[in-house]
């Protein structure tokens, strides 16, 4: 679906949320869910930034770092990909305090989810870097560029275009993973929904709204990434097609 089509679906989703919010059976849940949605968005945004930084750092370390750094990156990637995000959150919030390291629930949430998605992202970044044709590296050697210059100016800009679509997937995955933070006492969208459901038993109304809100947020992510993809493709992908 094109960007316009997606924008249409997003508009429709928001319109339905708006309409439902005005109805008698739904109205009372709106303030609580709005608070939850704000928390979800905040964690998503912060964790996304952390995930990108962690992914690039780990990917570069794994590809070009000296042995100790490489092993550190591999360990990070395998541990965070190989265990469940929920267990990681529990570790950060409930287990680490046993060893004297304490943090706020919000910090644990951003750290846990950011590092979890970053581990997947590291492989995305690594794959995109490897996919840049070898001839590009050879050209940088022939021009006597250093490896750092080659990476920064030639390889990463080209890899960037290739990694945008998979990052779109990861950001949506990240958004949905934030539902786990309710398990470490944070009042996100999923948490608010469960809380109100337990007291009112209005399951249909509450979870219809929650579903639509998550959908609207993930559509917004998809659209944002498509726009980015479009921009990055200029000069590179168009270049290859011609």
Partner 1 sequence: MIEFPMVSFENVTKRYGALTVLDNLNLTIARGEKVAIIGPSGSGKTTVLRMLMTLETIDGGVIRVEGEPLTHMERNGQLVPADQAHTRKVRAKIGMVFQSFNLFPHMTALQNCMEAPVKVLGLSRDEAEARSTELLEMVGMSNRRDYYPSQLSGGQQQRVAIARALAMRPKVMLFDEVTSALDPELVGEVLQVIRKLGAEHDLTMLMVTHQMGFAKEFADRVCFFHSGQICEEGEPTAFFQNPQNERSRQFLRAVLEAG
Of 27 and 231, nearer to partner 1 (C-beta) is 231
Q: Binding of partner 1 at residue 136 (CB under 8 A)?
A: yes
Q: Binding of partner 1 at residue 142 (CB under 8 A)?
A: yes
- What is the DSSP code (8-state) at residue 100? T
Is the separation of the CB atoms in 108 and 143 below 8 Å?
no
Is the separation of the CB atoms in 10 and 216 below 8 Å?
yes
Residues contacting residue 115 through CB under 8 Å, at least 6 positions apart? 50, 51, 54, 76, 80, 88
Number of residues that bind partner 1 (CB under 8 A): 23
Query: In which residue are the tokens 């439902």 written?
Result: 20
**Minimal distance in Å, beta carbon 139 to partner 1?**
4
* Binding span for partner 1 by CB under 8 A among 84-92, 118-126, 217-225, 234-242: 234-242
User: Among 146, 185, 200, 203, which residue interacts with partner 1 (rule: CB under 8 A)?
Assistant: 146
* Binding span for partner 1 by CB under 8 A among 49-57, 139-147, 196-204, 208-216: 139-147
Of 6 and 156, nearer to partner 1 (C-beta) is 156
**Minimal distance in Å, beta carbon 136 to partner 1?**
6
Q: Binding of partner 1 at residue 240 (CB under 8 A)?
A: yes
Measuring CA to CA, which residue among 168, 157, 153 is closest to residue 228? 168
Distances (CA, A) of 84 to 8, 32, 74, 175, 242: 35, 28, 17, 16, 44
Q: Which residues lie near partner 1 (CB under 8 A)?
A: 133, 135-136, 138-139, 141-146, 149, 153-154, 157-158, 235-236, 238-242
């Amino acid at each position: 679906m094109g960007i316009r089509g997606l924008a249409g679906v997003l508009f429709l989703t928001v319109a339905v949320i708006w309409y439902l919010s005005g109805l008698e059976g739904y109205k009372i849940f709106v303030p609580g869910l709005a608070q939850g949605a704000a928390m979800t968005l905040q964690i998503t945004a912060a964790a996304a930034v952390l995930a990108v930084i962690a992914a690039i750092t780990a990917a570069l370390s794994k590809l070009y770092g000296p042995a100790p750094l490489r092993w550190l990156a591999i360990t990070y990637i395998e541990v965070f990909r190989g265990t469940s995000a929920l267990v990681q959150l529990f570790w950060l919030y409930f287990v680490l305090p046993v060893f004297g390291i304490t943090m706020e629930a919000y910090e644990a949430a951003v750290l846990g989810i950011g590092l979890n998605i970053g581990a997947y992202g590291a492989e995305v970044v690594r794959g995109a870097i490897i996919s840049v044709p070898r001839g590009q590296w050879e050209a940088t050697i022939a021009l006597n560029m250093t490896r750092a210059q080659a990476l920064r100016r030639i390889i990463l800009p080209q890899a960037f275009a290739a990694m945008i679509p998979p990052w779109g997937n990861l950001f949506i995955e990240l958004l949905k993973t934030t539902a786990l933070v309710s398990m470490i006492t944070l009042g996100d969208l999923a948490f608010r929904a469960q809380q109100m459901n337990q007291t009112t038993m209005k399951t249909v109304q509450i979870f219809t709204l929650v579903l639509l809100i998550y959908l609207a947020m993930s559509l917004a992510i998809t659209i944002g990434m498509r726009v980015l993809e479009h921009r990055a493709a200029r000069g590179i992908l168009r270049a290859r097609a011609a």
